[in-house]
Each structure stands twice: as C-alpha cells, then as structure tokens.
Amino acid sequence: MRVARNIGYVKRRKRLARWGALVGFALLGATFWLALYPDFILFAYVPLLLGTLIFHFGMQQIAKWNRNPRNDVLLDERLRGFNDKYQLIHYSTLGKRTIEHLLLHPGGVLVLTARELPGEVVHRNGRWRRRGTGLGRFFGMGGPQLGNPSYETQANVEAVQRHLAAASLEVEVDGAIVFLNPLVRLDVEEPDFPVMNAEGLPEFVRTLPVDSTLRPSERQSLEALLAGGAELEVPQRVQRRRPVKKRVA
C-alpha cells in the first residue's frame, strides 16, 4: 500500500482550528466584560452568539485535526496489508474542493468518507442521526460531528468524476462510508453508499471489481492528477547487515 498525504493542508487546518478556538474564547470573554455595564447588556448578545458558534467550530476542528491518530492514519493502518497496486491519497485538492480520502485500486477510484464518532448511528429513509440524550448531544457539540455522510460522499464522487472528465480519463468512481471509532454501533437501512465499520473496510476493498482495461499509463496519469501537490510518503526499508562469523582461535 502506498500513501500520499497533503501535509500542507493538514497544517493549515490545524492552524484554523487553534485560531477558531482562541477567537471564540476571546468573544465569550468580551461577553462577560460587556455584561458588567448595564448600558451594554443588549450588545453583549452579539459576541455571545458569535463566540459560541466560533468556539464550538474551533473545538470540533481541534478534535478532528489534533487527535492522535487522525482519520487518515487510521485508514493507513487498516489497509496497510494491500500491495502497491493500491494507493491512499489523503486531502487531494481538486480545484476549490478538497477530497479527504481517496483509494486508487485496480478497478478505479473509491471515495472514502470517514467518521470517527462513537455511539449509535442510525440511517433511515435517507436521513442520518445519532441516538442519545439531549445532554449528551449538548456536551458533544465540540467533538466529532455526524453531518450527512451520504451527501458528502455524493458531492465528492461527482467532483472526482468532473475532474477526471476534464482530463479525458474514463475511470470508474465509487464511494463508501466508513466509521472508524471502535465504539460505534451502526443501524443502517438502504444507504445510498456502502456503509461499514473499520474492521469491515479491508474485506470490502477486496471485493472491489478489477478493471482489466485500465492500462499502466492511465493509472500513472490518474495518480499524478489526484495526488498532485501532495507529499508522497514511502515506507523506508530497514537494511540489516548479515551476521559476521567470527573465527575461533
């Protein structure tokens, strides 16, 4: 398994997360300062609302980008047993859109939408939600968010398809949703894309169809197009010296 990772994008997201949390905290502090003056009570609601939103955004981003291991590293670990015909590309920038996880395989391209949240996740009639108490949801506002993985996957698949079409590359592009937290419980019915936990990901990848018409030159063009600007990481082989036999005097 080969890995390409856009390290610059990761660093920018980490900086944005820190600044978001700091700015939000500063606005919340300004709220308490304005509340000390009766004439400015109404004005205190402005930094209160903005500070709450920005602070929670910053904490969500910190939980995503500063956690160890991150989602991209977890995916690397789960798929490390595959050979060099497979390549993971993390945070590929296609125009103005960044696709967080792509898997190049012998049959084409797989868009991976990863979520790291625990607890019970339910999908019914095209809608995603987390089961839990209201208090638990409140304290979870600063942590990983569910969002709409189906919508995100569809948008990313279409973005990759447009990008490949512009380069005159006809390759099959599919999507899948993977939940990486070992504490997640999935209750999913009729999803738009395959849904699995981290343990089921390797087996799913093995079932992907192979495209025998995909030539090596097309694959190289595909890798160059999708991994452009990313920092390629190649595992270093450890060279071991052969033991030297000592002569006995």
DSSP string, 121-141: EEEETTEEEEE--HHHHHHTT
Ramachandran angles phi, psi of 151, nearest 5°: -65, -45
With cut-offs at 50, 70 and 90, classify the pLDDT of residue 71: very high
User: Does 153 lie in the same domain as 90?
Assistant: yes
* Residue at 171 is within a domain: yes
User: Does 166 lie in the same domain as 89?
Assistant: yes
* Residue at 232 is within a domain: no
- The segment with the largest mean pLDDT, out of 130-139, 141-150, 162-171, is 162-171
* Residue at 247 is within a domain: no
User: Does 175 lie in the same domain as 78?
Assistant: yes
The count of domains in the chain is 2
- Is residue 58 pLDDT above 60, yes or no? yes
In this structure, are residues 204 and 195 in contact, taking their beta carbons and an 8 Å threshold?
no
User: Does 129 lie in the same domain as 23?
Assistant: no
User: Does 81 lie in the same domain as 190?
Assistant: yes
* Residue at 190 is within a domain: yes
User: Does 98 lie in the same domain as 75?
Assistant: yes
User: Does 199 lie in the same domain as 117?
Assistant: yes
**pLDDT value at position 229?**
58
* Residue at 52 is within a domain: yes
Its domain, for residue 17, covers: 2-65
How much is the pTM? 0.81
Q: What percent of the chain has pLDDT over 90?
A: 43
* 247: exposed, middle or buried (Cβ count in 10 Å: 0-12, 13-18, 19+): exposed
User: Does 182 lie in the same domain as 113?
Assistant: yes
Domain finish residue from 40, 65, 90: 65
Domain finish residue from 65, 84, 105: 65
User: Does 191 lie in the same domain as 117?
Assistant: yes
- Is residue 240 pLDDT above 70, yes or no? no
* Residue at 245 is within a domain: no
| Per-residue model confidence as pLDDT tens digits over 201-219 | 999 999 999 988 888 888 8
Ramachandran angles phi, psi of 178, nearest 5°: -125, 130
**pLDDT value at position 221?**
87
**What are the beta bridge partners of residue 4?**
89, 232
| Per-residue model confidence as pLDDT tens digits over 95-132 | 888 999 999 999 999 999 999 988 999 999 989 998 86
User: Does 140 lie in the same domain as 98?
Assistant: yes
* Residue at 235 is within a domain: no
DSSP string, 89-126: EEEEEETTEEEEEEEEETTEEEEEEEE---EEEEEETT
Domain finish residue from 43, 65, 87: 65
What is the pairing mode between strands 195-197 and 231-233? unpaired
With cut-offs at 50, 70 and 90, classify the pLDDT of residue 238: very low
**pLDDT value at position 45?**
81
User: Does 166 lie in the same domain as 76?
Assistant: yes
* Residue at 138 is within a domain: yes
User: Does 107 lie in the same domain as 50?
Assistant: no
* CATH number of the domain where residue 178 is located: 3.40.1350
